[in-house]
Amino acid sequence: MTMATTALDFANKVVLVTGGSRGLGKAMVMGFAERGADLVIASRKLDACEAVARDVRALGRRALPVAAHVGQWEDLDRLVGAAYLEFGRVDVLINNAGMSPLAPSLLGVSEALFDKVVDVNFKGPFRLATLIGSRMAAADGGSIINISSVGAVLPSPYFGVYSGAKAALNAVSIALAMEYAPKVRVNVISPGGFATDVSGDWAQDPAVLNNIMLKRLGRPEEIVSTALYLASDQASFTTGANIRVDGGCLAVKS
């Protein structure tokens, strides 16, 4: 067995994924489960988490589905408590949950919408990273991967608050990496457009594809491979990094 193969073996590792019941989150859950990890699957809808948990268990791995709203800190306290009660540790945290509603203009953004977008995309991931990162640092270490967006560096007025929240997540990820070093590595993945079950009609929109150097959307496994790398010993000297997985995105279509 080669070093590369063993480095991507997550047997006896515990991975927690927020937004893990669909889309890229589900793809990452299954990618880690296929490589031996046990999973904590969190999203707002328990039935959706339970459905993914059944798929994980079918691979012979343990799975804990937890309903949690990442924008609410009490839910995060409960999520962390449930994960540590079930498994005793978390080795990899993937802050994947997010939302990007459009608005007609920046002036048209309501206070409620502003707070909701910031809560889910920045406040929640920050809090969960501190709750778990501090435990990792006090124990055997671990890896935290924050899922940001290419929209943080290619903003639009139609999702300006989302771009700002993800840019804040990028910044605080460096602070988290500093805070919990040397035992915990904290890195960011910034996806572009991916073809998933939630991508909708824009997946074949020529205006979208023309703004991508590779002229296509990403396949889910193309973010899974990056997450596996950052979580593994292959990335043992990588922290505070931000990897764009966007096919060479030139602009984000509103």
pLDDT (mean) for 18-33: 97
Q: Is residue 251 part of a domain?
A: no
Looking from the CA of 131 toward its CB, the CA atoms found within 13 Å total 24
- The pLDDT of residue 45 is 96
pLDDT band at 2 (very low <50, low <70, confident <90, very high): very low
- What residue spans of the chain are helical by DSSP H? 3-7, 23-34, 46-58, 73-87, 111-118, 124-138, 160-180, 206-209, 221-231
Q: Tell me: pLDDT of 172 over 70.
A: yes
Domain assignment present for residue 100? The answer is yes
Q: Which of 141, 180, 108, 157 is nearest to 13 (CA)?
A: 141
Q: Is 158 a catalytic residue?
A: no
pLDDT at 3: 44
Catalytic pick from 84, 158, 162, 180? 162
Contact 131, 81 (CB under 8 A): no
Where residue 200 falls among pLDDT bands split at 50, 70, 90? low
Of 83, 12, 15, nearest to 230 by C-alpha is 15
Would the pLDDT of 152 be above 50?
yes
pLDDT of residue 104: 85
150 in a domain, yes or no?
Answer: yes
Domain of 125 in residue numbering reads as 3-245
Residue 46 has pLDDT above 50, yes or no: yes
Domain at 227, CATH number: 3.40.50.720
pLDDT at 65: 98
Q: For position 1, what pLDDT does the model report?
A: 41
Tell me if 254 is assigned to some domain. no
Does residue 92 fall inside a structural domain? yes
* Residue 26 forms part of a structural domain: yes
Q: How many domains does the chain have?
A: 1
Q: How far apart are CA 44 and CA 139, in angstroms?
A: 29
Report field, pTM of the whole predicted structure over 0.85: yes
Query: Residue 203: pLDDT above 80?
Result: no
Q: Residue 221 CB: number of other CB atoms within 10 A? A: 13
Please, which pLDDT band fits residue 158 given cuts at 50, 70 and 90? confident
pLDDT band at 9 (very low <50, low <70, confident <90, very high): very high
According to the model, what pLDDT value does residue 79 have? 98
Residue 193 included in any domain: yes
- Do the domain assignments include residue 252? no
Q: Tens of pLDDT along 106-150?
A: 999 999 999 999 999 999 999 999 999 999 999 999 999 999 999
CB 219 within 8 A of CB 192: no
